[in-house]
Amino acid sequence: MSLILASNSSIRRSMLEQAGVDFVVRSPDYDEKPVQNAHRGDGCSLALRLAEGKALSVSADPDDWVVGSDSVVEVGGQRYSKPRDRDEAAVHLRAFSGQEMILSSAVALANGGELAWSHAEETLLSVRPLSEEYISSYLDAEWPEVGYCVGVFRMEGRGVQLFDEIRGSYFTVLGMPLLPLLAALRVNGILPS
Protein backbone atom coordinates (compact mmCIF):
# COMPACT_ATOMS: atom_id res chain seq x y z
CA MET A 1 0.00 0.00 0.00
CA SER A 2 1.30 3.44 -0.99
CA LEU A 3 0.13 6.95 -0.30
CA ILE A 4 0.32 9.16 -3.38
CA LEU A 5 0.23 12.95 -3.27
CA ALA A 6 -1.42 14.21 -6.45
CA SER A 7 0.19 17.64 -6.37
CA ASN A 8 3.05 19.64 -7.82
CA SER A 9 3.08 21.89 -4.74
CA SER A 10 6.37 21.96 -2.85
CA ILE A 11 4.67 23.23 0.32
CA ARG A 12 2.17 20.34 0.35
CA ARG A 13 5.07 17.91 -0.03
CA SER A 14 6.90 19.67 2.78
CA MET A 15 3.86 19.56 5.07
CA LEU A 16 3.56 15.78 4.73
CA GLU A 17 7.32 15.25 5.05
CA GLN A 18 7.48 17.35 8.23
CA ALA A 19 4.55 15.37 9.66
CA GLY A 20 6.52 12.15 9.10
CA VAL A 21 4.17 10.74 6.44
CA ASP A 22 5.63 8.38 3.81
CA PHE A 23 4.33 9.13 0.32
CA VAL A 24 5.24 9.42 -3.33
CA VAL A 25 4.35 12.30 -5.65
CA ARG A 26 2.51 12.07 -8.95
CA SER A 27 1.28 15.02 -10.98
CA PRO A 28 -2.49 15.12 -11.24
CA ASP A 29 -3.94 14.79 -14.73
CA TYR A 30 -6.78 17.21 -14.16
CA ASP A 31 -7.93 20.30 -16.07
CA GLU A 32 -9.14 22.76 -13.44
CA LYS A 33 -10.32 25.49 -15.83
CA PRO A 34 -13.67 23.96 -16.91
CA VAL A 35 -14.59 23.26 -13.28
CA GLN A 36 -13.59 26.77 -12.20
CA ASN A 37 -15.44 28.41 -15.07
CA ALA A 38 -18.66 26.43 -14.49
CA HIS A 39 -18.67 26.73 -10.69
CA ARG A 40 -21.37 28.93 -9.16
CA GLY A 41 -20.94 28.10 -5.47
CA ASP A 42 -18.64 29.41 -2.78
CA GLY A 43 -14.86 29.02 -2.59
CA CYS A 44 -15.01 26.10 -0.14
CA SER A 45 -17.19 24.00 -2.44
CA LEU A 46 -14.96 24.82 -5.43
CA ALA A 47 -11.77 23.91 -3.54
CA LEU A 48 -13.45 20.63 -2.55
CA ARG A 49 -14.42 19.79 -6.15
CA LEU A 50 -10.88 20.55 -7.34
CA ALA A 51 -9.24 18.49 -4.58
CA GLU A 52 -11.55 15.55 -5.29
CA GLY A 53 -10.90 15.81 -9.03
CA LYS A 54 -7.14 15.77 -8.49
CA ALA A 55 -7.33 12.77 -6.16
CA LEU A 56 -9.43 10.85 -8.69
CA SER A 57 -7.24 11.85 -11.65
CA VAL A 58 -4.22 9.80 -10.57
CA SER A 59 -4.40 6.15 -11.51
CA ALA A 60 -3.09 3.90 -8.78
CA ASP A 61 -3.06 0.27 -7.68
CA PRO A 62 -6.24 -0.82 -5.85
CA ASP A 63 -4.48 -0.77 -2.46
CA ASP A 64 -3.00 2.70 -2.96
CA TRP A 65 -4.48 5.89 -1.55
CA VAL A 66 -4.32 9.22 -3.39
CA VAL A 67 -4.38 12.65 -1.76
CA GLY A 68 -5.64 15.62 -3.76
CA SER A 69 -5.69 19.18 -2.50
CA ASP A 70 -6.49 22.66 -3.74
CA SER A 71 -7.02 26.22 -2.54
CA VAL A 72 -9.24 29.09 -3.65
CA VAL A 73 -8.91 32.79 -2.80
CA GLU A 74 -11.81 35.26 -2.79
CA VAL A 75 -11.63 38.98 -2.09
CA GLY A 76 -14.61 41.31 -2.33
CA GLY A 77 -16.76 38.60 -3.86
CA GLN A 78 -14.27 37.96 -6.68
CA ARG A 79 -12.35 34.71 -7.07
CA TYR A 80 -8.64 34.96 -7.88
CA SER A 81 -6.42 32.44 -9.64
CA LYS A 82 -2.65 32.26 -9.71
CA PRO A 83 -1.29 35.33 -11.52
CA ARG A 84 -0.23 34.85 -15.14
CA ASP A 85 2.77 37.15 -14.75
CA ARG A 86 4.37 39.66 -12.42
CA ASP A 87 2.20 42.54 -13.67
CA GLU A 88 -0.97 40.59 -12.87
CA ALA A 89 0.50 39.69 -9.45
CA ALA A 90 0.82 43.42 -8.73
CA VAL A 91 -2.78 43.98 -9.86
CA HIS A 92 -3.94 41.23 -7.48
CA LEU A 93 -1.98 42.69 -4.57
CA ARG A 94 -3.50 46.13 -5.20
CA ALA A 95 -6.97 44.57 -5.13
CA PHE A 96 -6.18 42.72 -1.89
CA SER A 97 -4.80 45.83 -0.14
CA GLY A 98 -6.83 46.67 2.98
CA GLN A 99 -9.37 43.92 2.25
CA GLU A 100 -10.43 40.66 3.87
CA MET A 101 -9.29 37.58 1.97
CA ILE A 102 -11.20 34.31 2.25
CA LEU A 103 -8.85 31.42 1.61
CA SER A 104 -10.54 28.04 1.20
CA SER A 105 -8.45 24.87 1.18
CA ALA A 106 -9.63 21.33 0.65
CA VAL A 107 -8.16 17.85 0.74
CA ALA A 108 -9.52 14.55 -0.57
CA LEU A 109 -8.59 10.87 -0.36
CA ALA A 110 -9.32 8.38 -3.13
CA ASN A 111 -8.85 4.62 -3.07
CA GLY A 112 -9.46 2.17 -5.88
CA GLY A 113 -10.66 4.96 -8.17
CA GLU A 114 -13.38 5.99 -5.71
CA LEU A 115 -13.59 9.02 -3.47
CA ALA A 116 -13.19 7.82 0.13
CA TRP A 117 -13.12 11.08 2.10
CA SER A 118 -12.88 14.83 1.64
CA HIS A 119 -12.77 17.94 3.80
CA ALA A 120 -12.73 21.71 3.18
CA GLU A 121 -12.32 24.70 5.46
CA GLU A 122 -11.73 28.40 5.17
CA THR A 123 -9.52 30.94 6.85
CA LEU A 124 -10.05 34.70 6.94
CA LEU A 125 -6.98 36.86 6.37
CA SER A 126 -7.01 40.63 6.89
CA VAL A 127 -4.68 42.15 4.32
CA ARG A 128 -3.06 45.33 5.57
CA PRO A 129 -2.94 48.42 3.34
CA LEU A 130 -0.13 47.87 0.81
CA SER A 131 1.77 50.78 -0.72
CA GLU A 132 3.00 50.72 -4.33
CA GLU A 133 6.56 50.81 -2.97
CA TYR A 134 5.88 47.78 -0.78
CA ILE A 135 4.21 45.82 -3.60
CA SER A 136 7.21 46.46 -5.86
CA SER A 137 9.80 45.49 -3.24
CA TYR A 138 7.74 42.45 -2.23
CA LEU A 139 7.60 41.17 -5.80
CA ASP A 140 11.32 41.93 -6.27
CA ALA A 141 12.01 39.58 -3.35
CA GLU A 142 9.32 36.91 -3.88
CA TRP A 143 8.85 36.65 -7.66
CA PRO A 144 8.64 34.14 -9.37
CA GLU A 145 7.92 31.81 -6.42
CA VAL A 146 4.66 33.58 -5.47
CA GLY A 147 3.51 33.25 -9.08
CA TYR A 148 2.73 29.61 -8.32
CA CYS A 149 0.57 30.57 -5.34
CA VAL A 150 -3.07 31.54 -5.31
CA GLY A 151 -3.20 34.79 -3.34
CA VAL A 152 0.34 35.76 -4.43
CA PHE A 153 1.94 34.84 -1.13
CA ARG A 154 3.88 32.12 0.64
CA MET A 155 3.16 32.15 4.35
CA GLU A 156 6.50 30.45 4.93
CA GLY A 157 8.19 33.44 3.25
CA ARG A 158 7.65 37.20 3.24
CA GLY A 159 3.96 36.72 2.53
CA VAL A 160 3.28 36.80 6.25
CA GLN A 161 3.97 40.56 6.07
CA LEU A 162 0.86 41.10 3.93
CA PHE A 163 -1.49 40.45 6.84
CA ASP A 164 -2.66 42.15 10.02
CA GLU A 165 -4.69 39.21 11.28
CA ILE A 166 -5.39 35.57 10.40
CA ARG A 167 -8.47 33.74 11.71
CA GLY A 168 -8.31 30.03 11.04
CA SER A 169 -5.86 27.19 10.61
CA TYR A 170 -2.26 27.89 9.64
CA PHE A 171 -2.22 24.64 7.64
CA THR A 172 -5.26 25.75 5.66
CA VAL A 173 -3.39 28.94 4.77
CA LEU A 174 -0.42 26.85 3.64
CA GLY A 175 -2.76 25.05 1.24
CA MET A 176 -3.98 21.82 2.83
CA PRO A 177 -6.07 21.10 5.96
CA LEU A 178 -3.38 18.89 7.46
CA LEU A 179 -4.89 17.87 10.81
CA PRO A 180 -8.15 16.52 9.29
CA LEU A 181 -6.08 14.69 6.66
CA LEU A 182 -3.86 13.05 9.28
CA ALA A 183 -6.98 11.94 11.18
CA ALA A 184 -8.45 10.43 7.99
CA LEU A 185 -5.17 8.63 7.30
CA ARG A 186 -5.31 7.11 10.80
CA VAL A 187 -8.97 6.11 10.45
CA ASN A 188 -8.20 4.32 7.18
CA GLY A 189 -5.15 2.49 8.58
CA ILE A 190 -2.63 4.41 6.47
CA LEU A 191 -1.02 5.89 9.58
CA PRO A 192 -0.87 4.16 12.96
CA SER A 193 -3.38 5.37 15.52
**pLDDT by 10s per residue, the chain, length 193:** 799 999 989 999 999 999 999 999 999 999 999 999 999 999 999 999 999 999 999 988 999 999 999 999 999 999 999 999 999 999 999 999 999 999 999 999 999 999 999 999 999 999 999 999 999 999 999 999 999 999 999 998 899 999 999 999 999 999 999 999 999 999 999 999 9
Q: Which parts of the chain are beta strand (E)?
A: 3-6, 24-26, 65-75, 78-80, 100-111, 114-127, 163-167
User: Which residues lie below 8 Å from residue 193, measured CB to CB, with a gap of 6+?
Assistant: 186, 187
Q: What is the pTM of this model?
A: 0.94
Catalytic residues: 70
- Which fold does the domain 3-187 belong to in CATH? Maf protein (3.90.950)
- pLDDT at position 59 is 87
> Residues 118, 108: contact at Cβ < 8 Å?
yes
Helix (H) / strand (E) containing 182: helix 178-187
